[in-house]
Amino acid sequence: MNSVLVIAPHADDETLGCGGTLLRHKAEGDDIHWLLLTSMSAGARYSRQQVASRREQIETVADAYGFKSTNCLEYSPASLDQVPRSDLVAAIGKAIEATEAAVVYAPHDGDIHSDHRIAAAAVHATSKWFRYPSVTTILSYETLSETDFALALRDRFVPNYFVDITEFIDKKIEILKVYESELGAHPFPRSETSIQALAQLNGAKIGTMAAEAFHLLKHRA
């Protein structure tokens, strides 16, 4: 049994990026944990109704996955560039220690969203084995509407690790529908059609009906 930690800059990144894989981990008996870096708060950008709705969505999603723990750092969305890097690294490190995570999933460092890039860099800073000895594997996931919009060649997502999620793709999409305000009709990137198509394309690369793709950053056998 492994302890698995998914780090999500925003609620829905965990499901878009590795929802099927998390469900597979759970089905195989692993403990799964969710660290959210940002959250909505009432004010100029979000209404009290939006904040309450998002909190309900997070609770529903956490129950659907069966996370052993769910924690949120409560930073403001699209503002991680204002957080001292040392504070973010320390918070992520604390989560790794608390969960004794062996497997860590994080955003791709070439994503177009600054929150994703900053989160990825902070996770990379926790890769030293002598500081976080529990970690054996770090993988970056792709997030529709963020990873696929990277323009520079150096930022392109090049997967080298695939997970068969054929048995879990339907539940992944069911969970994504909880975030109703984040989904749209095709050709919007975060649409059911796009999510299915990406899973099918990744599946075709490894000979399965559906898969999620990752870039393996570190693995210690």
Domain-located, residue 197: no
Per-residue confidence at 42, pLDDT binned at 50, 70, 90?
low
pLDDT digits 0-9 by tens, 48-102: 888 888 999 999 999 999 999 999 999 999 999 999 999 999 999 999 999 999 9
Angle at 127 between CA 103 and CA 77, to 5 degrees: 80
Domain-located, residue 82: yes
Q: For residue 43, what pLDDT is reported?
A: 65
Domain-located, residue 41: yes
Residue 191 tokens read as 């649409």
Measured distance CA(122)–CA(114) in Å, rounded: 12
The answer to whether residue 41 scores a pLDDT higher than 80 is: no
**32, amino acid identity:** I
Domain-located, residue 170: no
Residue 116 tokens read as 């994703």
Q: Provide φ and ψ at 73, rounded to 5°.
A: -80, -10
Q: For residue 37, what pLDDT is reported?
A: 98
Contacts of 54 (CB under 8 A, 6+ apart): 11, 39, 40
Domain-located, residue 76: yes
Q: For residue 148, what pLDDT is reported?
A: 94
Domains contained in the chain, number: 1
Per-residue confidence at 44, pLDDT binned at 50, 70, 90?
low
Measured distance CA(163)–CA(213) in Å, rounded: 7
Contacts of 177 (CB under 8 A, 6+ apart): 183, 192
Domain-located, residue 124: yes
- For the segment 152-166, the average pLDDT, to the nearest whole number, is 96
Residues 95, 126 contacting (CB under 8 angstroms): no
pLDDT digits 0-9 by tens, 106-158: 999 999 999 999 999 999 999 999 999 999 999 999 999 999 999 999 999 99
Percent of the chain with pLDDT over 90: 91
Residues 201, 158 contacting (CB under 8 angstroms): no
Q: For residue 50, what pLDDT is reported?
A: 85
Q: What is the mean pLDDT of the chain?
A: 95
Q: Who wins on pLDDT, 25 or 42?
A: 25
Measured distance CA(57)–CA(188) in Å, rounded: 21
Q: For residue 216, what pLDDT is reported?
A: 98
Domain-located, residue 179: no
Domain-located, residue 43: yes
Q: How many CB atoms lie within 10 A of CB 30?
A: 17
Q: For residue 51, what pLDDT is reported?
A: 86
Work out the burial of residue 43: count CB atoms within 10 Å of its CB; fewer than 13 is exposed, 13-18 middle, 19 or more buried. Answer: exposed
CATH number of 111's domain: 3.40.50.10320
Q: Which domain holds residue 33?
A: 3-163+212-219
